[in-house]
């Protein structure tokens, strides 16, 4: 193996597991989605295993058909604040939308989480596709894809100004002089832009990491440009090695073109491992889960993503030839293309496609023994497709327990994953520098003559 940093591994917590039928197994608690103790248990298992972080997805709308699977969600920054009190080292990454929040409130929430956790907060930045969310915020439908990313870019500009509005040395706490903070070291944002007007300084001091780790999950052209500009970690769905390699090289190249160090942009595909002591045992668990899928619910979901009527998707036929193109889709463009290409490439029927998506919604699914799972992780890592993985167990907590007990020892034996934490902040886990104060950096640049 060439000299490289070790793998980065995040635990993606998704109620009872990423397989849509996981909640129907006898071991699963269908009410786990709102159970703090359940989430604390998972976070502690991941922390004991030295994962980089736990990760929570989110949406400002009800997630799909509530008959299909658990669809309630605790607000992720609130949940992670609770998890911060029951863990000490693992990173805490929450998803939040730039389309349905305001910079001041959201910057404050993430700065607060970074303080409360001692520098372990991360923000997964999403622009939120779908009309359902838009209608929850007084809109008739979702803004255009390009408009959502333009708003997101300005949202990040404002957030960065707010996070840096307090200099690191602003707080002096001088009791004798009666000066708590130096007023000239607390700078107003003073932002007047296309989407936002934000005048004042943040009412939270600069946080332990400078600002929370910035994560991004879009893989469209707009998404990759946004990631190259802002993201320090990119969560992505790449079902094949070749697609993973192409995405990895593309985002790193774009980052270099913007003057960034490509090692400061970690590419972390999702992987859904289904693990058995033998391959036959793993296949048996996979088959059991797939048998529990309700195809009529899954077809409704697929039809909504493909922008067609469900009746056009015959279970035992392939996808229609006259589907919309990606350019016609204003929702999740990259996920749309991923699913259509998967179906076309492998000549899948709708029923077969539903089965493939039931486990990981387009992420890399892998069913096999611990050695086989470790081999595929190592192969992607060593062949330019990943800096690590977002681990998405098909069933929780058992899938996480199997990964920790049976796969991690193999990765450690091969020198691919840490045996202990070497830092305390999420940035330190990722080997990333603490960002400098933009105002201090600007004042240090000599004026041109």
Q: Residues 202-233: pLDDT tens digits?
A: 999 999 999 999 999 877 888 899 999 999 99
Q: Residues 108-117: pLDDT tens digits?
A: 999 999 999 9
DSSP assignment of 118-170: TS-EEEEEE---SHHHHHTTT-SSPPPHHHHHHHHHHHHHHHHHHHTSB-TT-
User: Based on the number of CB atoms within 10 Å of its own CB, is 138 exposed (0-12), middle (13-18) or buried (19 or more)?
Assistant: exposed
Six-digit token string for 14: 């998704």
Beta-carbon neighbour count of residue 368 at 10 Å? 20
Six-digit token string for 434: 């603490």
Q: Please, what are the domains in the chain?
A: 8-275+364-440 (3.20.20.30)
**pLDDT tier, 37 (very low <50, low <70, confident <90, very high otherwise):** very high
CA distance 64 to 77: 22
Q: For residue 219, say whether it is annotated as part of any ligand binding site.
A: yes
Q: For residue 220, say whether it is annotated as part of any ligand binding site.
A: yes
Beta-carbon neighbour count of residue 57 at 10 Å? 17
CA distance 276 to 285: 8
Compute the average pLDDT of residues 32-55. 97
Compute the average pLDDT of residues 44-72. 90
CA distance 274 to 69: 19
CA distance 430 to 90: 11
The predicted pLDDT at position 329 comes to: 63
Q: Strand, helix or coil at 447? A: coil
Q: For residue 58, say whether it is annotated as part of any ligand binding site.
A: yes
- CA end-to-end distance (rounded Å), the chain: 50
Residue 127 has pLDDT above 70, yes or no: yes
What is the DSSP pairing of strand 171-174 with strand 179-181? antiparallel
CB of 125 closer than 8 Å to CB of 152: yes
């Amino acid at each position: 193996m060439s000299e490289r940093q070790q793998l980065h591994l995040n635990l993606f917590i998704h109620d009872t597991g990423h397989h849509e039928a996981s909640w129907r197994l006898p071991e699963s608690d269908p009410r786990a989605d709102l159970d703090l103790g359940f989430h604390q248990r998972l976070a502690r298992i991941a922390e004991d295993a030295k994962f980089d972080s736990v990760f929570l997805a989110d949406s400002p709308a009800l997630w799909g058909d509530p008959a299909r699977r658990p669809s309630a969600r605790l607000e992720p920054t609130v949940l992670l604040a609770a998890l911060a009190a029951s863990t000490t080292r693992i990173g805490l990454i929450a998803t939040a939308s730039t389309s349905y929040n305001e910079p001041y409130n959201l910057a404050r929430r993430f700065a607060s989480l970074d303080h409360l956790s001692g520098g372990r907060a991360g923000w997964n930045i999403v622009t939120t596709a779908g009309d359902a969310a838009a209608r929850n915020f007084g809109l008739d439908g979702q803004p255009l894809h390009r408009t959502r990313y333009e708003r997101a870019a300005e949202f990040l500009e404002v957030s960065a100004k707010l996070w840096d509005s307090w200099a690191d040395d602003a707080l002096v706490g001088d009791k004798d002089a009666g000066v708590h903070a130096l007023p000239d070291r607390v700078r107003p944002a003073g932002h007047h832009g296309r989407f936002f007007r934000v005048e004042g300084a943040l009412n939270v001091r600069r946080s332990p990491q400078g600002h929370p780790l910035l994560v991004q999950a879009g893989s469209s052209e707009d998404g990759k440009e946004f990631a190259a500009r802002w993201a320090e970690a990119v969560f992505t769905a790449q079902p094949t090695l070749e697609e993973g390699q192409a995405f990895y090289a593309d985002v790193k190249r774009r980052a270099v073109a913007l003057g960034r160090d490509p090692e400061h942009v970690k590419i972390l595909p999702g992987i859904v491992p289904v693990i058995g002591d033998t391959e036959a045992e793993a296949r048996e668990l996979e088959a059991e889960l797939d048998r529990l899928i309700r195809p009529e619910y899954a077809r409704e979901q697929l039809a909504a993503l493909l922008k067609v009527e469900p009746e056009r998707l015959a279970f035992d036929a392939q996808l229609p030839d006259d589907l919309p193109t990606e350019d016609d889709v204003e929702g999740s463009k990259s996920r749309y293309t991923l699913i259509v290409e998967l179906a076309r490439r492998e000549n899948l029927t709708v029923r077969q496609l539903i089965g493939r998506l039931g486990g990981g919604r387009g992420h890399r699914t892998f069913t096999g023994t611990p050695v086989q799972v470790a081999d595929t992780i190592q192969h992607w890592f060593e062949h330019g497709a990943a800096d690590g993985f977002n681990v998405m167990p098909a069933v929780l907590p058992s899938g996480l327990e199997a990964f920790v007990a049976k796969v991690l020892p193999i990765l450690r034996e091969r020198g691919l994953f840490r045996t202990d934490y070497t830092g305390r902040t999420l940035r330190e886990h990722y080997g990333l520098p603490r960002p400098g104060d933009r105002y201090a950096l600007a004042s240090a640049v000599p004026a041109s003559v």
